[in-house]
Amino acid sequence: MSFESLGLRAELLRAVAEKGYNKATPIQQQAIPLILEGRDIMGGAQTGTGKTAGFTLPLLQRLMSSTQSETGRRPIRALVLTPTRELAAQVAESVETYGRYLPLRSAVVFGGVSINPQKIKLIKGVDILVATPGRLLDHVGQNSANLSKIEILVLDEADRMLDMGFIRDIRKVLSLLPRQKQTLLFSATFSDEIKKLANDLLESPALVEVAQRNASAELVSQVVHPVDKSRKRELLSFLIGSNNWKQVLVFTRTKHGANRLAEQLNKDGISACAIHGNKSQGARTRALADFKTGQVRALVATDIAARGLDITQLPHVVNYELPNIPEDYVHRIGRTGRAGHEGEAMSLVCVDESGFLRDIERLIKRDIPKVVIDGYAPDPSIKAEPINQGRGRQQQKARNPAGKKTAPANKGQRPALKGAPGYPNRSRHKPGNRSHRGSQGAR
């Protein structure tokens, strides 16, 4: 189906054509007409299916169709909430790209960078704001963002926001929005928490779903390579070198593990860089740019990078360590096999991770082929040991090798907002200073 048949404005069609797109993806074919009608949406789509354009294009058209005050500062009329800085930047880029021929202004705000340039842009007035929850609430507290005129709300990667403990922030944002608005909720996986959030937010929503829920991408070939924990790094270097991989995204469970693995790969002669929540936004942007241009062969990331990394035709994803939350496996391997291209996902699995692997296979409803690499067969005498789950969110929903649930970690609460309606004075925390939140890095 062509974009012309979806009823989009000429300015949008021109921008789409300049991007080289002529046929709408299945998620776009379903979502765009419904959003143009003003319907609330509950969307389920794997990453790389064109979901961002699926809500960005009709959002831009609806804003052009609605009336707008001629005097005073432009009100924020559309809000897109994302869990990570990278995803926020990606969505903002799409808004700029597709809206280049429209007289609409947009801005993106997230933590890890100075708040002042963001404030200046917001005070000048924008129609569309893309934001992470924490930094958005900072702006609300400093009176640089007024959410009382929102007409369209988009929750992108809603499951990830809940996983990262942002539900309190989300509910605070929702309390500042008008009751009458169009709400679009997108999630790659559907948990009970997501269903509850959808029931609270959406009015007679249309379900837009182009793949089996919680399913892994069909164009991604998946394989497990059993190996001893102590030989994982050696095997990874062997796979990259012997196959002459030029671009591989490698996932670890912890930030320290990502740093250590990147250092080891560099010592093996494989250019590598780590990206995670403790890195500054500038460092993360540079690492991603170097990876995209081929200056870095291996990008080692924690799960914070599983959303928002949009790398054209990324051929290889390696789970150096399996995630302890099964849904994260779907998001990780969704970085490859995007936009109709094939991809390859490998998992290096030691005996300690057998419980994680069972949970993943149960979620995706398939057995992943196991292939032992010659010379790297695991030692059968090694017994499984408990895995250190790291800190914060990674302890949530975690399982030990026996498959038993561990106690969830306590999540900190965001202090109330000074200046926001219905919230008491917030004198102990200065807006813009989030050191007390730890290093989740996604704000």
pLDDT at position 197, please? 84
Q: Are residues 183 and 229 in the same domain?
A: no
User: Which residue, 209, 234, 254, sits at the end of a domain?
Assistant: 209
pLDDT at position 434, please? 43
Per-residue pLDDT for 191 more than 60?
yes
Name the residue with higher pLDDT: 109 or 343. Answer: 109
CATH number of the domain at 45, please.
3.40.50.300
Q: Are residues 178 and 228 in the same domain?
A: no
Q: Are residues 251 and 287 in the same domain?
A: yes
Q: How many domains is the chain built from? A: 2
The answer as to whether 234 is a domain residue is yes
Structural domain of 256: 220-395
The answer as to whether 328 is a domain residue is yes
Q: Are residues 238 and 380 in the same domain?
A: yes
pLDDT band, residue 270 (cuts 50/70/90): very high
Sort 348 into a burial class: Cβ within 10 Å, 0-12 / 13-18 / 19+: buried
The answer as to whether 113 is a domain residue is yes
- Beta strands at 182-187 and 206-209: parallel, antiparallel or unpaired: unpaired
* Tokens matching residue 238: 């062997």
pLDDT at position 81, please? 96
Q: Are residues 180 and 239 in the same domain?
A: no
Taking only the tens place, the pLDDT of each residue in 16-34 is 999 888 888 888 999 999 9
Q: Are residues 68 and 92 in the same domain?
A: yes
The mean of the pLDDT values for the chain is 82
pLDDT at position 21, please? 86
Q: Are residues 174 and 302 in the same domain?
A: no
pLDDT at position 78, please? 97
Q: Are residues 148 and 232 in the same domain?
A: no
The answer as to whether 378 is a domain residue is yes
Q: Are residues 177 and 230 in the same domain?
A: no
Taking only the tens place, the pLDDT of each residue in 396-408 is 444 444 444 444 4
User: Which residue, 182, 209, 236, sits at the end of a domain?
Assistant: 209
pLDDT at position 232, please? 96
Per-residue pLDDT for 2 more than 90?
no
pLDDT at position 284, please? 83
State the angle between helix axes of 85-98 and 10-18 in degrees (0 to 180), rounded to the nearest 10: 120
**382 CB-near residues (< 8 Å, 6+ apart):** 228, 351
pLDDT at position 306, please? 55
pLDDT band, residue 46 (cuts 50/70/90): low
pLDDT at position 279, please? 82
Taking only the tens place, the pLDDT of each residue in 193-248 is 788 888 888 988 998 876 554 444 566 889 999 999 999 999 999 999 999 999 99
The answer as to whether 433 is a domain residue is no
Taking only the tens place, the pLDDT of each residue in 273-311 is 998 878 887 888 888 889 888 899 999 998 875 555 667
User: Which residue, 158, 190, 209, sits at the end of a domain?
Assistant: 209
pLDDT band, residue 414 (cuts 50/70/90): very low
pLDDT band, residue 66 (cuts 50/70/90): confident
Sort 386 into a burial class: Cβ within 10 Å, 0-12 / 13-18 / 19+: exposed
> Any alpha helices (H) in 243-325, and if so which ranges?
255-267, 281-293
Q: Are residues 356 and 323 in the same domain?
A: yes
Q: Are residues 254 and 292 in the same domain?
A: yes
Per-residue pLDDT for 148 more than 60?
yes
Compute the distance between CA of residue 229 and CA of residue 361 in angstroms, rounded to an integer. 21
* Sign of the dihedral through C-alpha 169, 173, 179, 185: negative
**244 CB-near residues (< 8 Å, 6+ apart):** none
Compute the distance between CA of residue 204 and CA of residue 405 in angstroms, rounded to an integer. 35
List the beta bridge partners of residue 129. 79, 107
pLDDT at position 118, please? 97
The answer as to whether 427 is a domain residue is no
Phi, psi of 47 (to 5 degrees): -65, 150
